Amino acid sequence: MASIQKRGKQSFLLVVEIGSDAKGKRDKRTKTVRVEESLLKKKKQLNDFLQAELYKFKAEVEAGEYIAPNKMLFSDFVEEWRTKKAQKVLGVKTLAERLVNIKNHINPYFESKRIEKITPMHVVTFYDYLSKDGARKDGKSGGLSPNTIYEIDKILRHIFSTAKEWRVIKNNPMESIDRPKTSKAEMAFLDQEQAAELIMWLYDNLTPTWRMIFLTALIGGLRRGEVAPLELKDIVWERNSLLINKSLISANGTPILKDTKNGRSDELTMQQWYMDELKEFVHEWKKERMMLGDQWQGGDHQYLFHNGTGRRFHPQSITQKWWKIKNKHGFNMRLHDLRHTMITLLIEDNVNMRIIQERARHNSSKVTTDVYGHVTRRTSTAAAEKFEKFNPRKSVNNSSTISGL
């Protein structure tokens, strides 16, 4: 049984009965809806609107999906948010990462609290707890990093803004709280001489497969997830280029193939010497493929870089290999810094910013200048300093340098 009862001037109470409890008392679910004042003057439209709201409410109750907001625990709402919002608007990797933080940090702290009872002070106290010793789940000393706390803050803002949007809460506790500060990882990159030394080191110390993986990351400025899924069909020999049209991401350790970060398919022109090296590499690749025969595990795929039997590398495997090299030989830079090196060297060579943006596969040149602003400022200063030689106060013989005017 369902009914509509008028409450205030612009509010109505929806009532759905779902039977009786153990004492014979009618078990009801209620929900208040508000309407625009203009709708009150249109009886038919008002009735149609209320009947539609009652129908939806009854369907939710009968399906066991409705929980009265004033009784909803935080953990219950998080599940509603996950299935009805997050899964639809967040990418696979982003959702997986956020669910890990919810499981490890957010739910253990808030799960037993009613969501409408959570205040700004609760959240501030939670962040303080996260910053102290004992908050980490890996057993290491110290609290969570500022960047991790920032990511947790981002999750909470999404959850609570959704709760307010769905009218589960009246006030969003996050609206009066400042965003936590983050600490940017210092960007490292090689100068031209160091890059040349690294390339020679790769030739002297690594197998052809690993050498070409890191050369591709450095020369092409590719992310690890763009290197891993490259196939023979992605090589455009006639134009000395690579097709970058997919990316391999890791969601809870599971590799997932998706579109590239910018959502485009890009053709990346490579240097002639790199293409010569790649041609020799592919020649040996094909010979090894023939020798494998039925032992090939790559299926119909012809991954350029594979584990020896045709199975592509996991992005994390590439990172782990670089860390072993880094730790053993003292390279003070992350794998992603190879990409930074490519972009930085182009900027320092005064290559047109639009060309750099396209090669970096950024969505706009503004992204490039924002991320690499420190480099562009340095090159701009160097360019300006070239005119220092025209400073008249430093001229030895000003009076004799210009004549006949």
Per-residue pLDDT tens over the stretch 333-388: 899 999 988 988 888 887 877 888 888 888 776 767 666 665 655 555 555 555 56
How many Cα neighbours within 13 Å face the side chain of 43? 0
The answer to whether residues 245 and 366 touch, using CB atoms and an 8 Å cutoff, is: no
* Per-residue pLDDT tens over the stretch 35-78: 888 888 888 899 999 999 888 888 877 766 555 555 789 999 99
The more confidently predicted of residues 237 and 356 is 237
Q: For the chain, what percent of residues have pLDDT higher than 70?
A: 84
- Residues 6 or more apart whose CB falls under 8 angstroms from that of 271 comprise 219, 240
Which domains, from first to last, does the chain contain? Answer: 2-66 (no CATH), 71-176 (1.10.150.130), 192-382 (1.10.443.10)
* pTM for this entry: 0.61
* Of 78, 81, 145, 69, residue with least CA distance to 109: 78
Q: Average pLDDT of 180-209? A: 86
The answer to whether residues 20 and 7 touch, using CB atoms and an 8 Å cutoff, is: no
The answer to whether residues 228 and 248 touch, using CB atoms and an 8 Å cutoff, is: yes
**CA distance linking residue 231 with residue 235, whole number of Å:** 8
Q: Average pLDDT of 176-183? A: 88
- Residues 6 or more apart whose CB falls under 8 angstroms from that of 338 comprise 214, 217, 218, 221
Please report the pLDDT score of residue 379 as a whole number.
57
* Per-residue pLDDT tens over the stretch 117-168: 999 999 999 999 999 998 888 888 889 999 999 999 999 999 999 999 988 8
DSSP state of 361: T
Please report the pLDDT score of residue 400 as a whole number.
46
Name the burial class of residue 90, with classes exposed (0-12), middle (13-18) and buried (19+) by CB atoms within 10 angstroms of its CB.
middle
φ, ψ (nearest 5 deg) of residue 265: -105, 120
The residue type of 30 is: T
* Res. 115 pLDDT band, cuts 50 70 90: very high
The answer to whether residues 108 and 144 touch, using CB atoms and an 8 Å cutoff, is: no
- The H or E element spanning position 210 is helix 208-220
Helix 208-220 vs helix 272-292: crossing angle, to nearest 10 = 140
The answer to whether residues 251 and 257 touch, using CB atoms and an 8 Å cutoff, is: no
Q: Strand 254-258 relative to strand 247-251: parallel, antiparallel, unpaired?
A: antiparallel
* Of 139, 158, 135, 133, residue with least CA distance to 148: 135
**CA distance linking residue 2 with residue 26, whole number of Å:** 12
Provide the token pair at 206.
Answer: 């690594």
Among 173-177, 304-308, 376-380, which is the least confidently predicted range? 376-380
